[in-house]
Structure 1
C-alpha cells in the first residue's frame, strides 16, 4: 500500500532534502524515523529536491508498506521520533501507482526579503538595506510568463533533459516589513528560484532594466543572470496533485 507523507521542515540544519554522503539530509532523518516505527528498513521518494538551507512548509514523500496503517497514530509516532526541525503535517493513502515526484502537477515557492533590520526574521529572510522598486520587479516578473526555457537560471552542472518550465504565477507583494515573492510552476530547475529572485532584485535596485530580462532569458547563459540569493529566505510552500491519485 502506498501513502503520501506531507511534511514541513526548517532547512537550516540540513544539507537539503536528498540523501548524500557525509551530510545530514531531511530524507535520511525521515527514513530513519520510519524504519524505527516499522522495525524494518523503509525508503521514501520525495516530490523533489530542496538545496541546503532551503525550508519547506509542505513537501510530499511517498512510502510503501505491506499492511494498512492508522495514519493518525503513525503521524504521532513520527513526530515523536523526528527532531524539532521536522514535522509531519498529515499522512494519507493514495493509489498504488501514485508517485510523489512524477505525479505532481505544480509546485509553489515563496521567497522572503526583509526590508528592515529584524532580529526575528534574519534566519528566514534576505535582508536588503536599499529601497526596492517593487513595481519594476512585478513588471519584470510578468515577462517570465512569455518563456519556457530557463537555462539561464539553472545551476550549471545539473543532470536534466530539458530546461523547460511552465510558470503559471510570479509576483511580489509587500507584507509590512517583508517583501514576498511567490512563484508557481509545473517544475523547477536547481537553483532556479534563487537565481530569478536575485535577478529581479537587481531590477528593483535599478542595476538592470526590466527589458534586460528578455536578453538574459534568451541568452541561456547563467552568467548573464543575477546572483543567487541566500537559501535561508526560500520556502517550498505547496505541491499539487490531481485528485485521481487519492483513495476515495
Structure 2
C-alpha cells in the first residue's frame, strides 16, 4: 500500500490576471492553475487548501497551501519545485515544499498573517497594477496615531464585507503601521486572522483621516459602530500584498 504524505507548499503570485485565489466557476483563479500544474506533475488529481483567500487583483509574496500525495517528492524536492515552476504560468511560483503531519492545516494552523498596502504619489507606469496612485500626500503621523486604536482583540465587523460566512468577526491585530519608503507609503498590518476586504477598508478609513477628511478619533467611532457603512471606501486591490503566514512548526526565514 502506497504511503500518503501531506505537504505544505509555499507559493508567491502576481494576482493581476486572476479572479482571486479560490477556484470558482467561469473565472480563472490562482488555485485553479496550481491544482492543474500539480495534477500534471504528480499524475493524480490534487485539491489544495490555502492559508487564506485573496481577492481579484491582490498579490501574495508568501502563501502556504497543503495537499497530499503518494509521489516521492522528498527524494528530490528541488527537482519537484523546478518541474512545478516549469508548468506554472509566469506569474505564479513555487518557493518551498515541506512535509508536515497528516493533520496539519494550512488555514487553521496559521497563528499570524501579515499584509502590506502600497501607495505611490507620482505617476509611474511600472507601479501600475502594483500600487495605488494617489495625488495628495496624507499626514502620516495622523494615520499612525489612528492605527494604534486598531491594536488588540476586537470585533472588526465595520471593516468586513457583508454576508460573509465566518464564525466570528473578532480579530487580534498585532501591528498596524505606516512607513515612508522612497517617497512612497507602505501600510504594514499583522493579525491572527482577517475578514473579507478588511485591510482595504482599514486603509481607506485611515487615508480619510490622513487627508484631513475625518479626525483621528473617528477610528474609535467606526470600530464601535460595527457598521461597514461608517468605514472608509475600500481602496484598490492592486496595492495589497499578502506577505507572511506564520506557523509554530515552520521556521521563519
Do they fold alike, i.e. is TM over 0.5? yes
Runs (4+) off by over 3 Å: none
1:96 Cα shift?
1.5
In structure 2, which of residues 144, 147, 163 is the aligned counterpart of residue 138 of structure 1?
Answer: 144
1:115 Cα shift?
2.1
Equivalent-residue separation in structure 2 for 1:23 and 1:67 (angstroms) = 30
1:93 Cα shift?
1.0
User: Residues 106-154 of structure 1: CA distance to partner in whole angstroms, max 9, x if unpaired?
Assistant: 0000000002222211220111111210000000011101551000000
In structure 2, which of residues 105, 114, 122 is the aligned counterpart of residue 116 of structure 1?
Answer: 122
1:224 Cα shift?
0.3
Equivalent-residue separation in structure 2 for 1:38 and 1:44 (angstroms) = 13
Asked if 1:75 is matched to 2:81, the reply is yes
In structure 1, which of residues 71, 90, 102 is the aligned counterpart of residue 96 of structure 2?
Answer: 90
In structure 2, which of residues 64, 67, 72 is the aligned counterpart of residue 63 of structure 1?
Answer: 67
State the superposition RMSD in angstroms.
Answer: 1.1
Preserved contact between residue 152 and residue 172 of structure 2 (Cα < 8 Å): no
In structure 2, which of residues 206, 209, 217 is the aligned counterpart of residue 211 of structure 1?
Answer: 217
| Compared CA separation, residues 36 and 146, structure 1 to 2 (3 A) | closer
In structure 1, which of residues 46, 57, 68 is the aligned counterpart of residue 50 of structure 2?
Answer: 46
Asked if 1:237 is matched to 2:251, the reply is no
- Residue in structure 2 matched with residue 17 of structure 1 by the alignment: 21
Preserved contact between residue 49 and residue 65 of structure 2 (Cα < 8 Å): yes
1:67 Cα shift?
4.3
What count of residue pairs does the alignment treat as equivalent? 245
| Compared CA separation, residues 163 and 134, structure 1 to 2 (3 A) | same
TM-score, with normalisation over the residues of structure 1? 0.96
1:177 Cα shift?
2.2
Equivalent-residue separation in structure 2 for 1:12 and 1:148 (angstroms) = 32
In structure 1, list runs of 5 or more residues that go unmatched: none
The 5 Å alignment of 1:185-196 reads 185-196=191-202
- Residue in structure 1 matched with residue 33 of structure 2 by the alignment: 29
User: Residues 193-230 of structure 1: CA distance to partner in whole angstroms, max 9, x if unpaired?
Assistant: 00000000000100011101111110000000000000
Equivalent-residue separation in structure 2 for 1:83 and 1:119 (angstroms) = 23
Asked if 1:160 is matched to 2:156, the reply is no
Equivalent-residue separation in structure 1 for 2:184 and 2:85 (angstroms) = 30
- Residue in structure 2 matched with residue 176 of structure 1 by the alignment: 182
In structure 2, list runs of 5 or more residues that go unmatched: none
In structure 2, which of residues 155, 169, 179 is the aligned counterpart of residue 149 of structure 1?
Answer: 155
Equivalent-residue separation in structure 2 for 1:208 and 1:146 (angstroms) = 22
